[in-house]
Structure 1
Amino acid sequence: MLDRLIAKSPFAAVLTAALEESRRRGDRRLGTEHLLLGLLHDPGSALALGIGLADARAALDRLDRAALTALGIEVEGLRPAEVPPRHGKLTLGAFTSSARAVVNEAIRGTPRPRDPARLLRVLVDLAPPDPAAELLVELGADREAVRRRLDSAT
């Protein structure tokens, strides 16, 4: 269903990359943090963020380790398990409610719907404890600078 809605576009490429990032991490759902990682596959969004994909993945790993440590689970020395590839269509059921709301906001009521830059604008406006907002904080992203770069690109 979602693939028909967005067809073959840069926006669709970002959502597909986000789904692959979710699968790569072994997550069962696609959250806002995966949307942010998916945006880093888009050159314009990566430039606006001023962050590399490898750095974002490492930061998300640090946040996950910190969360597990807070629960009393020691993860030092553990290696990630091999995650078997899963295939299938991208559906709205794969999204967390927060990720679904972000995507809906990005495609609704704008002059340029389904633009990766619009998705990035929505994510940059999120506040902790949202996972994408926490990831931006961990990365030391300057949200105002990101907004200025997005404004200058349009």
Structure 2
Amino acid sequence: MVLDRLIAKSPFAVVVTAALEESRRRGDRRLGTEHLLLGLLHDPGSARALGKNLDEARAALDRLDRVALAALGIEVEGLRPAAVPVKRGRLSPGALTSNARAAVNKAKPREPAGLLRALLTVPPPDPAADLLAELGVDREAVRRALDSPNAP
């Protein structure tokens, strides 16, 4: 029991919990790599390494969504997002996308920097790769920042 509480309060668990909240905030039914990236932006060290903040990333993800919908002929400019009910509770294992599950499993050590390193390796058309590109993130610069002696 004590170990469960310690793990639940680990920085890694805080990031994954924030990712879950970001998924719910957007009204998504599954937790994907884009949500993990948003969750990492709740961690000051990860945000510093990325050189971006949560508001920038949320806006970039919204832009990507609008472009994708426009490609299908759905115009959403001027529409307000519908209120999404926030549900609490545990995330079932099937609620993670396969790429999100792979990134979490690849995160070694099990800390925010390990998860960020894992997300830096995902290729397009993965949502996190698309979001990193939309934000103009230099993946190599982030890797160097994570490898520096003052890394998060």
TM-score normalised by the chain length of structure 1: 0.91
**Residues 15, 39 of structure 2: 8 Å contact kept:** yes
**Preserved CA contact (<8 Å) 1:31 1:98:** yes
Q: What is the alpha-carbon distance in structure 1 between the residues aligned to residue 8 and residue 134 of structure 2?
A: 33
Q: Which consecutive unaligned segments of at least 5 residues does structure 1 have?
A: none
Equivalent runs, 1:12-31 vs 2, <5 Å: 12-31=13-32
Letter paired with 2:121? D
Distance 1:90 1:75 in 2: 30
Q: How does 1:81-120 map to 2 (within 5 A)?
A: 81-106=82-107, 110=108, 113-120=109-116
Q: Quick check: 1:124–1:143 contact (8 Å CA) kept in 2? A: yes
The answer on 1:55 being equivalent to 2:56 is yes
What is the alpha-carbon root mean square deviation over aligned residues? Answer: 1.4
- Contact 1:16 1:90 (8 Å CA) reproduced: no
Scaled by the length of structure 2, the TM-score of the pair is 0.92
Q: Following the alignment from structure 1 to structure 2, what is the Cα–Cα distance between the partners of residues 151 and 90?
A: 32
Q: Paired residue for 2:9? A: 8
Indicate the residue corresponding to 2:121 in structure 1: 125
Kept in 1: contact 2:31–2:95 (CA 8 A): yes
Amino acid at match of 2:75: E
Q: Which contiguous aligned blocks of 4+ residues in structure 1 show a shift greater than 4 angstroms? A: none
1:93 maps to a residue whose letter is G
Q: Following the alignment from structure 1 to structure 2, what is the Cα–Cα distance between the partners of residues 151 and 92?
A: 31
